[in-house]
């Protein structure tokens, strides 16, 4: 059973036609304990939408990820969710050029502690259900584009006196080490 904040579900369903007309859903969201909300469509048609948010107090935060689908009747329903206790600042990035089952992948990044980030890569399986494909935890995580135009995940690991960067691309349905210098 998915437990989602009412204002969050409303925000996913409603859109704002003009900046000067703020819908009630946004006002409700601003008054709710939801923070760091981000959403990303998985496809151009908007039939699947990823939503990430954070709830809790500064001492007890939880980051959430959910997938919503547009039903045949036009309603949008939550179909899956997961959470990271003690994590904050979730962010989403749809990786259009990284594919699995002909669908773009989703990168979810959350913060843990003063010097730890976690990235999880999700894809939609043949039944359009989320599956965690891989993940990394590091001191810092970023993205870059190499000279060949490929998107690379850059994972920085703490070494005694420096951060060591390792770059990864998506190859043969998995993360593969690539040169950070290309």
The set of residues, in sequence order, having a beta carbon less than 8 Å from that of 163 and lying 6+ positions away, is 139, 140, 156, 157
Element (H, E) at 121: strand 116-124
State the pLDDT at residue 44.
79
Using the structure block, give the residue that is written with the tokens 């359009």: 128
State the pLDDT at residue 14.
45
Q: What is the pLDDT along the chain (182 residues), one digit of tens a residue?
A: 455 555 455 445 444 444 456 777 777 767 777 888 899 998 878 789 999 999 988 788 899 999 999 888 888 899 999 999 999 999 999 999 999 999 999 999 999 877 789 999 999 999 989 999 999 999 999 999 998 899 999 999 988 899 999 999 999 999 999 998 86
Using the structure block, give the residue that is written with the tokens 């329903």: 77
State the pLDDT at residue 5.
53
Element (H, E) at 167: strand 163-171
In order of 18, 59, 68, 97, 121, the CA distances from 134 in angstroms are 39, 28, 21, 17, 5
Ramachandran angles phi, psi of 117, nearest 5° = -125, 150
Residue 12's nearest CA partner among 47, 54, 44 is 47
Residue 139's nearest CA partner among 119, 168, 124, 123 is 119
Strand duo 48-57 + 60-70: pairing: antiparallel
- Cβ(109)–Cβ(141) under 8 Å? yes
């Amino acid at each position: 059973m998915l437990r989602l904040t009412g204002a969050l579900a409303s925000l996913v369903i409603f859109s704002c036609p003009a900046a000067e007309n703020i819908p009630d859903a946004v006002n409700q969201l601003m008054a709710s304990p939801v923070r760091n909300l981000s959403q990303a469509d998985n496809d151009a048609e908007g039939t699947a939408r990823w939503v990430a948010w954070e709830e809790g107090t500064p001492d007890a935060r939880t980051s959430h990820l959910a997938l919503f689908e547009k039903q045949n009747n036009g309603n949008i329903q939550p179909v899956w969710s997961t959470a990271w206790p003690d994590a904050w600042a979730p962010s989403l990035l749809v990786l259009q050029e990284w594919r699995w089952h002909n669908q773009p992948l989703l990168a979810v990044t959350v913060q843990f502690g003063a010097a730890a980030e976690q990235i999880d890569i999700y894809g939609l399986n043949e039944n359009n259900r989320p599956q965690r494909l891989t993940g990394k935890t590091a001191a810092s995580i970023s993205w870059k584009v190499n000279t060949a135009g490929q998107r690379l995940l850059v994972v920085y690991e703490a070494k005694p006196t420096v951060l060591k960067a390792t770059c990864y691309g998506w190859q043969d349905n998995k993360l593969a080490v690539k040169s950070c210098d290309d």
